[in-house]
Amino acid sequence: MPRYSLQKRSLVTGGAGFLGSHLCERLLAMGNEVICVDNFFTGTRRNIEHLIGHQRFEILRHDVTFPLYVEVDEIYNLACPASPIHYQFDPVQTTKTSVSGAINMLGLAKRLRIPILQASTSEVYGNPTVHPQTEDYWGNVNPIGPRSCYDEGKRCAETLFFDYHRQHQIRIKVARIFNTYGPRMHPRDGRVVSNFIMQALAGEDITLYGDGRQTRSFCFVDDLIDGLIKLMNSADEVTGPVNLGNPEEFSIAELADLVLQATGSKSRIVFAPSPVDDPRQRRPDVTLARTLLGWEPVVPLAIGLPRTIADFRSRFFA
């Protein structure tokens, strides 16, 4: 059963990661107690060091592929490496984190009869044949490629969430997260925003994979956290999946130009072969989030990108 307390107690798996640390911070600001769970494979203590010592904040070093027994009022399941470099390092463990991790967290939610939110991904759409992507699109995913450990792991996790909902009446929330950026991004995670910023600030060549015409949509982290919390606190019948991302679309070449302008870098742009199964287009349709949650992103790339660059300067080029 849920705990009976004036303060809501939130469990955040992957809480020391980029998104998780921002979510922990926001939940504390809302007055919640927060248990941050992380095995520190990609998350770092530096992301949460400013929260250590807070009277409502706890850290548990734990791998979600093993069961966890705690008493909480809600679960945000963010645990999983989310960049190609990290999730392809140990693809079997990546799949286990998505699938076994979901089973363990859903089991905890079932025991406690509490709501649980799954941080799913736009990667469930694969290389989409529908543009922009709506939640009723089933996707175009390669099940045996080098990205499949993440793509199919997240798809299976969604299946588990909805099966637990139908079979055990678990209150579920599924968010499909599109490209998110902001302070505390990992500097070497292989994502395009962090790659370009690090290369530009270091004066290195900026590497564009493919022809640079492939598109992405970039959501600032503050907007994304707003969406996750609104989804968690929505009516029980709002299960998702719900797209959370910024529908403004940019080509990768346009992003490179924006980074060069914002950093004042003299780096050259060079081209390299496109990775296997790299999507050509990625842009969310956020109509459902607007309708069900009253949510839409408010921070444009022109504002969020300089804030992100300033964070990278202070951490790595001070």
198-216 per-position pLDDT tens digit: 999 999 999 998 899 999 9
Output the average pLDDT for the chain.
94
Structural domain includes residue 145 = yes
Count of domains forming the chain: 1
Residue scoring higher pLDDT (279 or 237): 237
Structural domain includes residue 252 = no
Domain with 102 in it: 9-183+220-247+283-298
CA distance 128 to 167: 31
Torsion angle defined by CA atoms of residues 184, 189, 191 and 193, in that order, rounded to the nearest 10 degrees: 40
Q: Which of the residues are catalytic?
A: 150
Structural domain includes residue 160 = yes
In the prediction, which pLDDT does 275 show? Answer: 81
What average pLDDT does this structure show over 5-15? Answer: 91
In the prediction, which pLDDT does 3 show? Answer: 54
pLDDT above 90: residue 40: yes
**pLDDT-above-70 percentage for the chain:** 98
pLDDT above 70: residue 4: no
Sequence-distant (≥ 6) Cβ neighbours of residue 28 within 8 angstroms: 34, 51, 54, 56, 57
Confidence of residue 81 (pLDDT cuts 50, 70, 90): confident
In the prediction, which pLDDT does 47 show? Answer: 97
Structural domain includes residue 254 = no
Structural domain includes residue 195 = no
pLDDT above 80: residue 5: no
CA distance 20 to 76: 9
Structural domain includes residue 120 = yes
What average pLDDT does this structure show over 268-274? Answer: 91
In the prediction, which pLDDT does 201 show? Answer: 97
- Assign residue 232 the CATH number of its domain: 3.40.50.720
**pLDDT-above-90 percentage for the chain:** 88
CA distance 166 to 110: 12
CA distance 165 to 141: 25
pLDDT, tens only, 218-230 = 999 999 999 999 9
What average pLDDT does this structure show over 58-72? Answer: 97
Structural domain includes residue 86 = yes
Residue 179: phi and psi, rounded to 5, are -40, 120
Structural domain includes residue 174 = yes
pLDDT above 90: residue 1: no
In the prediction, which pLDDT does 89 show? Answer: 87
Residue 309 and residue 155 in contact, taking contact as beta carbons nearer than 8 Å? no
CA distance 165 to 162: 5
pLDDT above 70: residue 196: yes
